Amino acid sequence: MIPAGPTGLRFLGVGSALPPKILTNDDLTASMDTSDEWIRERTGIGQRHIGGTTSGLATEAAAVAMTRAGVDPADIDLVILATTSPDYICPGTAPAVARELGLDCGAFDVSAACSGWVYGLTIAQGYLMQGMGRILVIGSETLDRITDYTDRGTGILFGNGAGAAVVEADPRGPDAGGGALLGWDTGADGNYVHILYSEHDGVLQMDGKEVFRQAVKAIVRSTTRTLEMAGLGIDDVDLVIPHQANVRILEAAWKKLGFSMDDTVEILERTGNTSGATIPMALDQALHDDRIAPGDNVLFLGFGAGMTWASALVRWAES
């Protein structure tokens, strides 16, 4: 157990990547009985991207993050890649990404579905505490390979994409303007494996209503635990960057927690659910839109198949 309390961590650069091909809600009406209006109203999704490979999208997003961070391949000490749609069952996808980026360091995948990138961030924190310098934390997915776009229960939701962040240790501490992981929580409940899963060579199977219910519970529980560890309340959170699954899931959880959609980053309309990639992609969007100021408290919130969930409250570094 990593001790509770501030641990210096700051984001040096963030990037994302989407394959060029777009599948709109209207496109889906050719293969299933649905409508743009129904999908938008029940999920908030307008389109999703398809194509590409998990390693290719991850490499593209990570290269952007590294350029924005101003780091060279020799500066990266580890690659953590969250994915639920790896290029191969074996080996992991991270080594191929490290090779493409010209890195000479450890590289492994994290399989925690839509919570994977936040799990990865907490793993990165542990390595930084052990003296590691800079770590790439990536989320990348090609969910089109495990999605049946003729099934209206699942095909409306999922798409492809990648997001990546370069993080490094920040020795300053939050009171001196340093970035920090103020609190975090990771959890899992294997009793719910059967509500969202894919077998080898299969496609995603889902009990949508039960996933919805369990997701709301997980969000409320995990947010509460992370804020408790940080010793902070809902009002201390400046921005929430949640997993992008369904806007109605967030609205239901926000009613219980007291967040508003104004405090929330939303990219779901243009990306759909890209599992482990949604949170770093939404972070990239938030930075692009200047929604994060130095000293802000940013809550990352992941939940998904497993069930797994993970949240992390980050104090954004002064510079």
DSSP state of 8: B
Answer yes or no whether residue 34 interacts with ligand COA by CB under 6 A.
yes
Task: Report the C-alpha gap between 137 and 65 in whole angstroms.
Answer: 10
- Token digits for 104? 């000479």
Answer yes or no whether residue 308 interacts with ligand COA by CB under 6 A.
no
Q: Where are the alpha helices (DSSP H) in the chain?
A: 25-28, 36-43, 54-69, 94-101, 116-129, 208-230, 247-257, 268-271, 278-288
Residue with Cβ nearer ligand COA (200 or 209)? 209
Residue 309, SS3 per DSSP: strand
Residue with Cβ nearer ligand COA (86 or 155)? 155
Answer yes or no whether residue 197 interacts with ligand COA by CB under 6 A.
no
Active-site position among 114, 160, 246, 297: 114
Least distance in angstroms from the C-beta of 26 to ligand COA: 13
Residue with Cβ nearer ligand COA (106 or 208)? 208
Task: Report the C-alpha gap between 170 and 259 in whole angstroms.
Answer: 29
**Active site includes 200?**
no
Answer yes or no whether residue 30 interacts with ligand COA by CB under 6 A.
no
Residue (of 52, 119, 27) closest to 81 by Cα position: 119
Task: Report the C-alpha gap between 253 and 103 in whole angstroms.
Answer: 40
Find the binder of ligand COA among 190, 209, 235, 290 (CB under 6 A): 209
Answer yes or no whether residue 245 interacts with ligand COA by CB under 6 A.
yes
Residue (of 121, 113, 162, 80) closest to 311 by Cα position: 121
Find the binder of ligand COA among 53, 208, 220, 291 (CB under 6 A): 208
Q: How many CA atoms lie within 13 A of 20 on its CB side?
A: 0
Least distance in angstroms from the C-beta of 289 to ligand COA: 24
Instruction: Kindly tell me the sign of the dihedral angle through the C-alpha atoms of 284, 204, 305, 32.
Output: positive
Answer yes or no whether residue 114 interacts with ligand COA by CB under 6 A.
yes
Residue with Cβ nearer ligand COA (26 or 72)? 26
**Active site includes 90?**
no
**Active site includes 288?**
no
Full DSSP string of 194-240: GGEE--TT---EE-HHHHHHHHHHHHHHHHHHHHHHHT--GGG--EE
Least distance in angstroms from the C-beta of 240 to ligand COA: 16
Binding to ligand COA, residues 149-168 (CB under 6 A): 152-153, 156-157
Residues that bind ligand COA (CB under 6 A): 34, 38, 42-43, 114, 152-153, 156-157, 206, 208-209, 211-212, 215, 245-246, 249, 273, 304
Catalytic residue set: 114, 243, 273
